[in-house]
Amino acid sequence: MFVEREQDVLRAASMYYLQDLKMEVIARHLGTSRSTVSRLLKRARETGLVEITLRPSSTRAPGLGRSISAAFGIDTYVVPVPDSAGSVERLDQVAMTAARLIGSWFDSDMVMGIAWGTTLAAVSRYLAPKPTRGSAVVQLNGAANMRTSGVEYASDLISSFGSAFAAAVHHFSVPAFFDYPDTKAAMWRERSVRRVLDMQRRADIAVFSTGAVAGAVPSHVYSAGYLDDADVRRLHDEGVVGDVCTVFLRGDGSWEDVSLNSRATGPTPAELQRIPRRVCVVAGDNKVAPLLAALHARVVTDLVVDEVTATALVEAVAGRAPGRPR
């Protein structure tokens, strides 16, 4: 009976993908069957030993990634998509890429912070199982709102990350926004809350998106009752373009004196910056302004973005209206 070993997976993958040998030939080399070789190759893909990327000849992705990386000093992963792709398709393609990258970065004895939202919910659906030991997943921002508890939505999302990596899960059972800053200050002194905040501070990797007020795929914080009309008007008056972890940002990345932030439960940009790897996952035209704000706030170390949004971002940085000739 053939016993599958890591070195056999590597040998099979090397012969198939690098030496272009047929499965029958590889099976003879390994002294096994063609079906076993097929299983070894599947294992190589599932574990990330082999990564398959399709790059259409017309794609602008590599050049866009280099431009964004050079402008902001980050690692950028631009996902090729056709210009005709719809918002949902772009989100799915980005979510698949982000899920694969997160699986390659997260390992045993690590802590991952997750900010719930529409984009991260999509990422959670594409996570491949990767059992780890001694690891943890922690929720970065509260979820309750004035219409519903909001807890079930966030809990399921965070739990899906924990299940994928066999990691301990730490939920953050507080509202997304408190009614009063004093209430937040009092809750932050509670031992149960301090325990979660301490776990957040221990994070090795944070995963989040940027929130946008409108668009074909609206951000959950703006579409599910977390803000009332007066809040939205106040944000508009203060020049807010979006949020990261439910902390609101202006276009230049400033956030300290935005009034609603004193009631927000997510980590501030200053707190996020203490986490070594900060992965921002973005898809959609409506995300360009909040993404640029997040980049100005220096909360991103790794960006996963679709090609169309990346093009609009580069044009925004260059001061061009989207779609204008270069």
**How many other C-beta atoms are found inside a 10 Å radius of the C-beta of residue 323?**
8
Q: How many CB atoms lie within 10 A of CB 195?
A: 11
Residue 225: which region, alpha, beta or left (left: phi > 0; alpha: psi -120 to 50)?
A: left
Cα–Cα distance between 210 and 219 in angstroms, integer?
8
What is the chain's Cα-based Rg?
22
Calculate the dihedral angle through the C-alpha atoms of 210, 214, 218, 220, rounding to the nearest 10 degrees: 70
**Dihedral of the CA atoms 80, 81, 87, 88 (nearest 10)?**
-90
Query: Tell me: the pLDDT tens digits for 159-184?
Result: 999 999 999 999 998 988 998 999 99
User: 151 pLDDT exceeds 60?
Assistant: no
Q: Would you give the DSSP letter of residue 42?
A: H
What is the distance between the alpha carbons of residues 206 and 138, in angstroms, rounded to a whole number? 9
Range with lowest mean pLDDT among 10-19, 65-74, 232-241, 271-280: 10-19
Q: Which residues pair with 137 in a beta bridge?
A: 112, 169
Kindly report, residue by residue over 204-214, the tens digit of the pLDDT: 999 999 988 65
The number of C-alpha atoms within 13 Å of 281 and in the hemisphere containing its C-beta is 28
Res. 325 pLDDT band, cuts 50 70 90: very low
pLDDT of 216 > 60? The answer is no
Indicate if the pLDDT at residue 58 is higher than 70.
no
Residue 306 confidence class, pLDDT cut points 50, 70, 90: very high
Token pair for residue 217?
């795929």
